[in-house]
Amino acid sequence: MQRIGILLFDDVEELDAVGPWEVFGAWAHAHPDEAEVVAFAAAPGPVRGAKGLRFEADRGLDDVGRLDVLVHPGGMGTRKLLKDDAHLDWVRGQRERVPLLTSVCTGSLVYAAAGLLNGRPATTHWGSLDLLGELDPSIEVRGDDRFVDDGDVVTSAGVSAGIDMALHVLARLAGVDRAREIRHYIQYDPEPPV
């Protein structure tokens, strides 16, 4: 059983959280013996997305429980988190407990600020690639990659790239056939209409 936690915070980019939730949630719904997905925030309760969508966090940092995968979304709310010592300490603590840390969009900036991407390849939203390198010049910034898998840390580019990252992680955890099943179910076919 894989337990996946998706972090929520004020001004989180909605699709950064909801895209991976759709992938992992569809997996957990279709195969409840294989996965569970939880949404959590600093404290249980309402969270406001970057474009006004309201979320409800089921749990807080203190009661989220064991995680096998942490998804740290991005959005303008990450700018505040980059300077939040308590949050950065919490993220560092997750590195010790959670086997797989993932990020979507500017969530990787938080990992960089916490020192978790030191000497690693990583990516982020195209508009924040320079900032990623400024936060930690040892990072091998990969601006052309949709996601970067570096073993125990997987970062993805902006917004919709979180869906691709989540499908990749699903393939790692449950196999390519399972990932294809879920991709088919959510009818995800990344061929833009324009």
Give me the active site residues, please.
Answer: 105
Distance from the Cα of residue 87 to its chain's centroid = 15
Residues 6+ apart with CB under 8 A from 24: 4, 6, 35, 37, 69, 71, 166, 170
Provide the β-strand partners of residue 12.
Answer: 49
Q: How many residues does the chain have?
A: 194
Q: Please tell me the distance from the alpha carbon of residue 18 to that of residue 15, in angstroms, as a whole number.
A: 5
